[in-house]
Each structure stands twice: as structure tokens, then as C-alpha cells.
Amino acid sequence: MNAVIKVGGKQYYVTEGAEIYVEKLNCNAGDTVSFDQVLMLDAKIGNPYLTGVTVQGEVLKNGKAKKIKVFKYKSKDRSNRVKQGHRQPYTKIKITKIG
């Protein structure tokens, strides 16, 4: 079965056994999470969500993504060189059941 779920303001296309990275959730590794904002299940499309359908998953780990560099530069102005880094926190989830 295939589904499209909404988590943290983003939409994810999931299948059973898939592992997805979502924005950080308040849960620990090994916990079971349930998503009830299902937008699509196989060929059925919700308006805006399907009723009575949930997607369950198991939390594998919480962590931070690889660091990305943000570099701001203005030409001919040596005082405004700024270099920053950012690591986005995430939660890795394995989808166990759709239905």
C-alpha cells in the first residue's frame, strides 16, 4: 500500500517498510508513532484528509543532519563577510503499518 502523509507541514510519500526523515518529534527511539493526517491512500484522495485511516511507524533515532555552510558576501566590503553553519534536527521513522 502507498500513502501520502502530512508531518510537520511537509508531505511524504510512504510505503510499508520505508524509512523517512521528518522534522524533530518529541519521542524517543523505540516509540511507536501514529499519523492520522493521510492525504492519499493508493487511489483514494481525501478532502483534505481521509477519515479512519492511520499510518503507524517506529522511531529509529533522533539526531542532527550534516552541517551546511551559509556564506554571505558583499563585494568590495571586507567587513561583511559572514560564515555560519546550521544543523537541522530530525527524527528517523520506519513505516510499519498503513491502514
Q: How many residues comprise the chain?
A: 99
| Residue among 71, 78, 95, 96 at smallest CA distance from 19 | 95
Least confident of 17-26, 50-59, 62-71: 62-71
Q: What's the predicted TM-score (pTM) here?
A: 0.82
Q: 26: pLDDT confidence band, cut at 50, 70 and 90? A: very high
Average pLDDT over residues 57-80: 86
